[in-house]
Amino acid sequence: MCSILSVIDLRPGSDLSVLRPLALSLSARQRHRGPDWSGVYQHPHALLVHERLAIVDPAGGSQPLLSADRQLALAVNGEIYNHRPLRTELEDAYAFQTGSDCEVINALYVIEPDGDAGAWLNRLNGMFAFVLWDAKRQRAIIARDHIGICPLYWGHDVEGRLWVASEMKALSRLCDDVAQFPPGHWFDTETQTLHKYYDRPWRDVAATQGVEVSREILRDAFESAVHRQLMSDVPYGVLLSGGLDSSLVAACTARFARNRIEDDDASEAWWPRLHSFAIGLEGSPDLKAAQIAADALGTVHHGFTYTFEEGLDAIPDVIRHIETYDVTTIRASTPMYLLARRIKAMGVKMVLSGEGSDELFGGYLYFHKAPNAREFHEELVRKLDALHNYDCLRANKSMMAWGVEPRVPFLDREFMEVAMAMDAEAKMVKDGRIEKNILRAAFEGVLPDEILWRQKEQFSDGVGYGWIDGLKAHAEKQVSDAELTAAAQRFAHNPPQTKEAYFYRRLFEQVFPDEASARTVPGGKSIACSSPAAIAWDAAFANAADPSGRAVAGVHAAAV
């Protein structure tokens, strides 16, 4: 994973002597995402800048990736997990120049340059955000992966030029209309049209009714997703909080880690010992559970502690990196940011993580309140649509702040097709079943029961309950009652509802003072409490300002 920055200017007479150094300086704001190498492609009407984090083909594969005739230039942030079968299929039609997994994007464009790009984008299984420049047609194709795992922003400068970047910080003071590029979409500068390409039948609950998925099929599908995402030519590890999701990722990774994925498991992996990583306050629930899981799986485990003061000191930097003022996201991003720094210091460049499981299986504790399968499923779809603003954003930006690439196999396209196609009746929390019961049952015998059947903890809770309580207490001292009362006058968009939210919003404003940047953050008190469905399920959510999992009355049992 890397960072990209591009400017597309289709007017004659562009002054590249001014634009090129500007583009380079803006791209440098994202260099934490790609510290290994920088590349630039220049055309009279386009500049593509790339900051590389080398994971696959580190000796080659530098970007922007050029076609043999140099008519195509491609800057990509991401990984294409099915690149090898695609390469085999396309090598007669396109002369590959590198071993990069991402070059298949150029090849797919070559065989279908005039067709609907959505058709070939739907053939990619991966996480990506890219700009592809066709010099012959003076046309750019801009696209983002199916669910928004990789961040992407765009906007226009005062001259009307189109700018695209991996992070908002590169554009916020340049583009008055900076905004997130929508997941599952592509944009064509030739027609100036934005198209949605990722629109699956399972979005309609009627398509899932009566569909059964066996435990064996579910397990095989997830194991295959993990196996695909282990492609790497550099040391990697797993994040292991000791909860169900990260433990399942770790268990599947441990099964495949000894062999090299890129040659079909024919040879021993270059780094055969699997390392796992966890972080928390001293005595936190996650550290205890992570050690139990690691012992059972045989990973080389690294459990790190941080103090409340260390976390508090990091928050301004965390907000600058993750580019949000959402309370839940900041709470969870801070320990993840500190953990990424530790991982980077150990020489690991890629980790697998458990994000996405709760959105696929209804793992959040308020799903206990869902009244029926239809509403359960519709809420899953809503949460998946919002995921790029929350967990995807948190995992990607907090880890990439230190040049560590996070991969999320629960959001693998093929696995999502299996998980979301099933009737939500099988996922519901009822008749004494715990949340995500079907997923747990599919992996019986793989993990210790105390991990497999451990109740959901929000990540910001699991690192230690003193973390959230301390943040609230600190904000109480930093924000006066008068300031909170007048919040709507100071912050016209999304005025904060609590002192903790006000504290984060003030820090965000110091880095991103413009209104457009504030509007890239969605409104609402939390992803759970702001949901109309959640409020309909339990009226208590309407007045719940705290998004912690512990706030779900009658559901959460405090860890011991």
Strand partners, 256: none
User: What HEC string does 270-330 produce?
Assistant: CCCCCEEEEEECCCCHHHHHHHHHHHHHCCEEEEEECCHHHHHHHHHHHHHHHCCCCHHHH
- Which two tokens mark 111? 């065989």
Distance CA 128, CA 198 (A): 13
**What is the pLDDT at residue 525?**
47
Task: Give the whole-angstrom CA distance, residue 374 versus residue 393.
Answer: 28
- 213-458+494-525: CATH architecture: 3-Layer(aba) Sandwich (3.40)
* pLDDT digit string, tens, across residues 428-469: 998 888 999 999 999 999 998 988 988 766 555 668 779 999
Q: How confident is the model at residue 550 (pLDDT cuts 50, 70, 90)?
A: very low
Selecting among 2, 102, 175, 252, the annotated active-site residue is: 2
Model confidence at 17, pLDDT cuts 50, 70, 90, reads confident
512-545 residue pLDDT tens: 999 999 999 997 544 444 567 777 887 776 566 5
Identify the pLDDT of residue 61.
72
- Antiparallel, parallel or unpaired: β 350-352 and 236-239: parallel
E strands within 189-252? 193-196, 236-239
Query: How confident is the model over 493-498, as a mean pLDDT?
Result: 95
pLDDT band at 476 (very low <50, low <70, confident <90, very high): very high
User: Do 32 and 400 contact (CB within 8 A), yes or no?
Assistant: yes
User: How many degrees, rounded to 5, is the angle at CA 29 between CA 385 and CA 159?
Assistant: 80
Instruction: Return left, alpha or beta for 415; rule: phi > 0 is left, psi -120 to 50 is alpha, else beta.
Output: alpha
Helix/strand/coil (H, E, C) string of 61-74? CCCCEECCCCCEEE
**Which of 122, 198, 118 shows the shortest CA–CA distance to 388?**
198
Average pLDDT value for the chain = 92
Span of 96-105, 419-428, 460-469, 478-487 with lowest mean pLDDT = 460-469
Question: Residue 113: is the preceding peptide bond cis (ω within 30°)?
Answer: no
Q: What phi and psi values does residue 540 have, to the nearest 5 degrees?
A: -60, -25
Domain ranges of the chain: 3-199, 213-458+494-525
- CA 36-182-80 angle, to 5 degrees, is 45
Report the pLDDT value the prediction gives residue 530, as an integer from 0 to 100: 52
In angstroms and rounded to an integer, the radius of gyration of the C-alpha atoms of the chain is 23
Give the model's pLDDT for residue 554: 57
Judge whether residue 548 has pLDDT over 70. no
Return the bridge partners of 46, or none. 8, 43
Helix (H) or strand (E) holding 133, with range, is: strand 126-134
In 192-267, beta strands by DSSP E: 193-196, 236-239
Cα angle at 241 between 546 and 303, to 5 degrees? 120
Phi, psi of 508 (to 5 degrees): -60, -45
- Token readout for 374 is 């239809």
Q: pLDDT tens for residues 344-390?
A: 999 999 999 999 999 999 999 889 899 999 999 999 999 999 999 99
* Residue 109 contacts residue 90 (beta carbons within 8 Å): no
Neighbours of 461 (CB within 10 A): 23
529 is catalytic: no
Residue 279 annotated as lining a ligand binding site: yes
Interval 181-222: pLDDT, tens: 999 999 999 999 999 999 999 999 999 999 999 999 999 999
- Whether residue 558 is predicted with pLDDT greater than 50 in this model: the reply is no
**Helix, strand or coil for residue 126?**
strand
Q: Quote the DSSP letter at residue 148.
A: -
pLDDT tier at 551, thresholds 50, 70, 90: low
Q: Mean pLDDT across the stretch 497-524?
A: 94
Given this structure, which CATH class describes domain 3-199? alpha beta
Instruction: Please indicate if the annotation marks 239 as binding a ligand.
Output: yes
Query: Per-residue pLDDT for 22 more than 50?
Result: yes
